[in-house]
Structure 1
Amino acid sequence: MRMTSEPPAEYVAFVSRHLEPLRRDSVRVVGAEEDADCLYADVLTDVATRWSWLELLRTRLGHEDAADDFLGRVFARRSERYYLAEDGPADDHEIQVTAWRPDEPPPARRVYVSTAVRLAPMLVPKRRSSAFVAGPACEAAIAWWHAYETIRRRRLAYVGFVALALLMALANVTAPPA
């Protein structure tokens, strides 16, 4: 199955279902909201890279939870780099404490969003439906594009390797005997 440059509706729905829990878990693992998209974006890209296989497992082989299981495995594997053996998070983030008096309101909390959400105004769909949610749709589109580019680079590397192997075989066949 050939991968298209736009995500299928099933993948967008999958991202919509899993985006918020994935963000929360990423924040817990990474330790800071502003760094969480380093983890969950890679996880979504890995799922998008294998989407055609996961859909085949779901539709033809009856494994309904194939994508969910794969998401859990990829998240666990990618999360390992943020942990040392049993010492907790690998990146020690400084904790900043701000004290305020009870009669004053707390300072406004800065809201961090991923790059995909910041790019959302540029990715306006042709028709807006009531089911369109900018966050998951944009996150799905960006993860899908990263997966598309990854697969394209892999194919180019495979073609280059095969061409090199054929040239080497041709050189051995046409070389005069010694």
Structure 2
Amino acid sequence: MRMTSEPPVEYVAFVSRHLEPLRRDAVRVVGAEADADHLYGDVLTDVAARWSWLELQRTRLGHEGAADDFLGRVFARRSERWFLGDDGAGDDDHQIQVTAWHPDEPPPSRRVYVSNAVRLAPMLVPRRRSTVFVAGPACEAAIAWWHAYETVRRRRLAYLGFAAIALLMALASVSAPPPA
């Protein structure tokens, strides 16, 4: 099944059912409501990336709770990574990368890539709950789906590039003259 750029209705319904408990659990793990969206957003993106397989399990293989089970596993894995940090060393080992340059020289420029979800975010009308922005389930589902769509697209391009290089190497070895 091919992943589209728009989330299916079933995924939006899934996010609607699980968003509030997921937010509460993320706040419990992270410790601050303002940082919890990083954790639960990644979890929803992981579920979106596997949605076609989860739907196949539900509809064809009879595993009704496939998406719920996967959500629990992904949340546990992401929570552990969040708690330990990306390198698994814990929060005690923070490293900061500093780049210095001479004041007379301009700083080195680097291209920053931003997803379309981030570009579209200012156009959404935010609902405010205290001081933290809380997006609705449809918005959360659309953003997570878009991130998953971009991830799947990049993976496919990488696989295609690898296959093209392998094919070119095979053709080069076949067409090379035999050693004398």
- TM-score, normalised to structure 2's length? 0.73
Contact in 1 for aligned 2:39/2:82 (Cα 8 Å):
no
Contact in 2 for aligned 1:120/1:138 (Cα 8 Å):
no
2:19 alignment partner in structure 1: 19
Q: What is the aligned counterpart of 1:122 among 98, 121, 124?
A: 124
1:109 alignment partner in structure 2: none
Work out the CA distance in 2 between the residues paired with 1:5 and 1:136: 17
Work out the CA distance in 2 between the residues paired with 1:120 and 1:67: 30
Offset of 1:91 from its aligned partner?
Answer: 4.6
Question: Alpha-carbon deviations, 1:79-115, whole Å to 9, x = none?
Answer: 112334xxxxx558xxxxxxxxxxxxxxxxxxxxxx9
2:42 alignment partner in structure 1: 42
Task: Look up the SS of the partner of 1:44 in the other structure.
Answer: helix
Question: Alpha-carbon deviations, 1:40-86, whole Å to 9, x = none?
Answer: 000000000000000000001110000000000000001112334xx
Extract unaligned runs of 5+ from structure 2.
85-89, 93-116, 126-134
Offset of 1:121 from its aligned partner?
Answer: 5.3
Work out the CA distance in 1 between the residues paired with 2:36 and 2:124: 22
Over aligned residue pairs, what C-alpha RMSD do you find?
2.1
User: Structure 1 residues 144 and 53 mapped into 2: Cα distance closer, same or farther (>3 Å)?
Assistant: same
Over the matched positions of the two proteins, sequence identity in percent amounts to 81
2:154 alignment partner in structure 1: 153
Extract unaligned runs of 5+ from structure 1.
85-89, 93-114, 124-133
Q: Which one-letter code corresponds to 1:69 in the other structure?
A: D
Work out the CA distance in 2 between the residues paired with 1:120 and 1:14: 25
